[in-house]
Amino acid sequence: MLDPIILIPAAINGLTMGAVYALVALGLTLIYGVLHIINFAHGSLLMVALYAAFFLYRLLGIDPYLAIVVLVPVFFAAGYALQRSVIGTSGQGRDQNVLLITLGVSIVLENAALYFFSADTKTIDTSYSLEVVDLGVALVPLPRLIGFVAALVLAAVLWALIARTDLGRAIRAVAKEPHGATHVGVDVNHVFAMSFGIGTACLGAAACLLLPMFYVSPHVGNVFVLIAFTVVVLGGMGSFVGALIGGLLIGLTESLGGLLFGEAAGQLGIFLIFIAVLLFRPTGLFGSRLA
Amino acid sequence: MSRAAAVTGVVLALAVPALVHSDFWVGFCITVLLSTLMASAWNVLGGFGGQFSFGHAAFFGTGAYTAAVLHVALGVNAWLAFAAAGIAAGAVGVVIGYLSFRYGLRGSYFALVTLAFAEVLRIAVGSVDFAGGGVGLYLPLQVGIANMQFASKAGYYYVALALGAGAIAVAWRLERSRLGAWLVAIRENEDAARALGVDTLRCKLQAITISGAMTGLGGAFYANYYLYLDPGLAFGPGVSVEVLLAPIVGGIGTIWGPFIGAAALQLAGEMARRILGDAPGLSLVFYGALLVLTVKFLPDGLIGLGRRMLQPRAAHA
What pLDDT is recorded for position A1? 54
A88-92, A264-268, B73-77, B197-201: which has the highest mean pLDDT?
Answer: B197-201
Q: Which residues of B touch A86 (CB under 8 A)?
A: 292, 296
Chain A interface, mutation test: which of B119, B240, B252, most A Cβ atoms within 10 Å? B119
Percent of chain B with pLDDT over 70: 96
Read off the pLDDT of residues B17-45 as tens digits, 9 standing for 90 and up: 888 888 889 999 999 999 999 999 999 99
Question: Across residues A37-59, what is the average pLDDT?
Answer: 92
Contact criterion met (CB below 8 Å) for B262 and A85 = no
More confident residue, A145 or A264: A145
Model confidence at B314, in pLDDT bands (50, 70, 90)?
low
Distance separating the N- and C-terminal Cα atoms of chain A: 44
CB contact under 8 A, B112 and A97: no
CB contact under 8 A, A111 and B111: no
What pLDDT is recorded for position A94? 67
- CA dist A89 → A94, A172, B297 (Å): 12, 21, 11
Question: Across residues A245-271, what is the average pLDDT?
Answer: 86
Contact criterion met (CB below 8 Å) for B288 and A105 = yes
CB contact under 8 A, B117 and A279: no
Question: Across residues A227-254, what is the average pLDDT?
Answer: 88
Question: Across residues B262-284, what is the average pLDDT?
Answer: 84
Question: Across residues A79-88, what is the average pLDDT?
Answer: 88
pLDDT at A289 > cutoff 50: no
Residue B151 CB-half CA count within 13 A: 1
Question: Does A105 lie at the interface with B, CB-CB under 8 angstroms?
Answer: yes
pLDDT, mean over chain B: 89
Question: Does B276 lie at the interface with A, CB-CB under 8 angstroms?
Answer: no
Q: Which residues of A touch B276 (CB under 8 A)?
A: none
Residue B80 CB-half CA count within 13 A: 8
A61-70, B44-53, B135-144: which range is least confident on average? B135-144
Q: Which residues of B touch A112 (CB under 8 A)?
A: 281, 285
In chain B, what are the helix, strand and coil shares in percent, each to the nearest 5? 80, 0, 20
Supply the pTM of this predicted model: 0.89
More confident residue, A126 or B307: B307
Query: For chain B, what's the residue count?
Result: 317
